[in-house]
Structure 1
C-alpha cells in the first residue's frame, strides 16, 4: 500500500530568510547570501554582505540579530570586507536612529525615508517609510493559488527590524504614494 503524497511546507526559517533576502537584499549595496544550518541544532545563520562599512554598521544596528521562531533560532550577521560588523552600542537619540535608517536603507529600492514623530505623550517613534509595494516569493503557501508569500513591504520590514532601539519604538509604515 502506498502512502499518499502530502504537501510539503516551507520551514519557517526559510520564510524568514526570504523575507531578509527580498527586503534588505533589494539593494545594490547588499547581498543576502545562502542560509547556513549551524551544527548541533544551534539554529541557522544568514550572512548579509554590505559594501560600505558605515551602511553595514547602521544595518547591523536596526536588524534583529537573533529571531526566535518557535524552537528555531535564526541569526543574522552583517559582514563588511570579510569582518562581522557589530551594532552601534550606547545611547542613541530618536534623531540618530532616524539617521541610521537613512544610512542603512538609502539605496534600498523599497525605502522612501524615515521620520521622527511623537508617538505617545512624552515619547517619540521612528517611522521608516516604504513604498506601497508587495514583496512576493515562492513559499509553499497553500492559501495562494501559486503558493507564494505575499506581503506589503512595510510589514515584511516590520518582521526583520528591531521593534525598538534604546527605548525608541520603530514603526515601519507604507508611503501614501509611490
Structure 2
C-alpha cells in the first residue's frame, strides 16, 4: 500500500522567535554574556534570561536593554542575572555622560561594538553607540530572502533590543565608517 507523500510544511518564524535570535546575535556576541532560551510563562508571555559575568557589566546591560518587548498581545520580558541574583536597571535620571559610560561598560567585550560618544545638536544631547559595519544573519523562515535568512546591519539589530531613549536622552544607533 502506498503512503501519501508528505507535502512540505510552510511556516514563518513568530516575532518572539525573531526577537530572541536578535538578542542572541547581538548582545550574545560577547564572551561574558549568555542569552538563555525563550521560556513561555503564560499565554502570550515569554521570558529571556541573560546571564552576565560581572556585576558592573550586568547593571549596565540591565539599564540599556528593553525590559519588555511587545508584539501585539505577545510580551517578552528580559531578565539580567549574575549567578542567581537578578539585576535591576540603574535608577534615573542619568546624564548623557553616564549613559556613554554604561554603553562602554556593558558592550566593551562585544564583538560587534566599536565605541560610544555623546554629542549636542541644536542644544539637545544625543548618545551615539557605534557598531562595526557588520551584517547580522540567522535563519528565520524569511520568505523575502532566497535562503530564508534574517539580514540586518548590527546597529539596527541593537536598536531593536536596546532602549531607544534613556530618560530624556535619545539614543542614535550608528554604524562605523568602513576604512578604504
TM-score (norm 1): 0.94
Give the one of 94, 107, 127 matched to 1:105: 107
Which runs of no fewer than 5 residues in structure 1 stay unpaired?
none
SS at match of 1:103: helix
Q: Give the number of equivalent residue pairs.
A: 176
Shift of 1:92: 0.9
Give the one of 52, 55, 63 matched to 1:53: 55
For the 8 Å contact 2:59–2:89, the answer to whether it is kept is yes
Runs of 4+ in 1 over 4 A off after TM superposition: 1-6
Give the one of 21, 26, 49 matched to 1:23: 26
Shift of 1:90: 2.2
For the 8 Å contact 2:44–2:73, the answer to whether it is kept is no
TM-score (norm 2): 0.93
Distance in 1 of aligned mates of 2:138 and 2:85: 30
Shift of 1:10: 0.4
Q: CA RMSD in A?
A: 1.6
Aligned counterpart, 1:153: 154
**For the pair shown, which has the larger CA radius of gyration, 1 or 2?**
2
Distance in 1 of aligned mates of 2:66 and 2:115: 20
Shift of 1:85: 0.3
SS at match of 1:34: strand
